[in-house]
A and B are shown apart, each in its own frame.
Chain A
């Protein structure tokens, strides 16, 4: 059995009072509720957690993709994966998954994953999703 440490990276400092003035945390939530300085701290904290998961013995560390939501800060999971490649050496890195319909040119998808595979010396697990309406 293999164990995966999987992150969605929600934006924890969200002002929940403001959040509840809107009908959802997806799509209709205004950008001004995101503080980029706090966002940078969130990315740091979450990437540290994923890296630490390798130390703890997880076989796989995983990221995913969501758009337009406070629920997940990774519209571009490959960028996080790239960061994780540099900071880890043993764990597999799973991207579950890249939303295909949003990318115009499939060659772009293939090129990025080929690079990630090469940069990680084979530690990438590719995953694809069709995305949901919010994407």
Chain B
């Protein structure tokens, strides 16, 4: 049952948002490739939850405000977003860049968060554990390097890219670069404050992640107080796409007990 695309407004910012399902309120924050289509992963969540998948400002056809310069700006915006939903608390899920944003929201203020699921989040750096550099990858590598199962990029790369898609991808790249270029995919201040996340947290990581090493998952587990770490074998950087069943199950387990 695919979600519907809606228009959503946060104060003076207009964004796209996918919405579907009913039940516990869940918000999914997307990664650097932009707002995904309605994924099988979202169907699994929407079977039990009222799922909202907002597009970040600066991405896709959502507004691109000048004040958005770094992850802190995005985090503050999402505090406004959560306040504006008219819901007491949501279960927050974030993928990669979206995971970083979710963590930054949570260290600031957990009031509107019932639980936190981080899927291969950006945001910290572990010295001596080298990350991949997506900015150096060419167009094909940028897809292939995100997945363990190469049949997934085979399918994705075979899809035609319209001029409109290419323009959107370029705009997304601009915002991605604003947020993740320097320091590369982390906030040097974040790790110190992860103890401020007081809600039950799940960190999920693909064992074969070529972008952020799976060894980072343990550091998140050490720093966030009430935190479970799940490593998924035969999985790259995008567990929600590559292993939707197990990822959704783990997230729903957390949501169910929070």
Which residues in window 25-72 of A have CB below 8 A to B?
27-28
Q: Which residue of chain A has its CB nearest to the CB of B136?
A: A27
Closest A-chain residue to B140, C-beta based?
A23
Say whether B138 faces chain A, with CB atoms less than 8 Å apart. Answer: yes
List residues of chain A with CB within 8 A of the CB of B136.
27-28
Report the separation of the CA atoms of residues A27 and B136 in the bound assembly, to the nearest whole angstrom. Answer: 8
**Chain A neighbourhood of B138, CB < 8 A:** 23
Task: Give the A-B pair count, Cβ closer than 8 A.
Answer: 3
What is the chain A residue whose CB lies nearest that of B135?
Answer: A133
Within B133-169, the residues touching A (CB, 8 Å) are: 136, 138
User: In the complex, A66→B136 CA distance in Å?
Assistant: 16
- Interface residue SS majority, chain A: loop
| Bound CA–CA A28/B133 (angstroms) | 11
Give the complex CA separation of A27 and B138 in angstroms.
11
CA distance A28 to B138 in the complex (A): 11
C-alpha gap A3/B138 in the complex (Å): 38
CB distance from B124 to the nearest CB of A (A): 24
Q: Looking across the interface, which residue of chain B has its beta carbon closest to that of A24?
A: B138
| Chain A residue, CB-CB nearest to B141 | A23
| B24 CB, nearest partner CB in chain A, Å | 43
Q: How far is the CA of A23 from the CA of B138 in the complex (A)?
A: 10
**How many Å from the CB of B133 to the closest CB on chain A?**
10
The distance in angstroms between the C-alpha atoms of A23 and B136, with both chains bound, is: 12
Distance to closest chain B CB from A112 (angstroms): 23
Of all chain B residues, which has the CB nearest A68?
Answer: B136
CA distance A27 to B141 in the complex (A): 15
A23: nearest chain-B partner, CB-CB = B138
Bound Cα distance from A83 to B138, whole angstroms: 37
Q: Across the two chains, which residue of chain A brings its CB closest to B138? A: A23
Within 8 A of A (CB), among B1-56: none
B residues in contact with A23, CB < 8 Å:
138
Contact with B along A1-39 (1 / 0, CB 8 A): 000000000000000000000010001100000000000
Report the minimum CB–CB distance from A99 to chain B (whole Å): 16
Residue positions of B touching A, CB distance < 8 A: 136, 138
A sample of 3 cross-chain residue pairs with beta-carbon separation below 8 angstroms, ordered by A number, consists of A23-B138, A27-B136, A28-B136
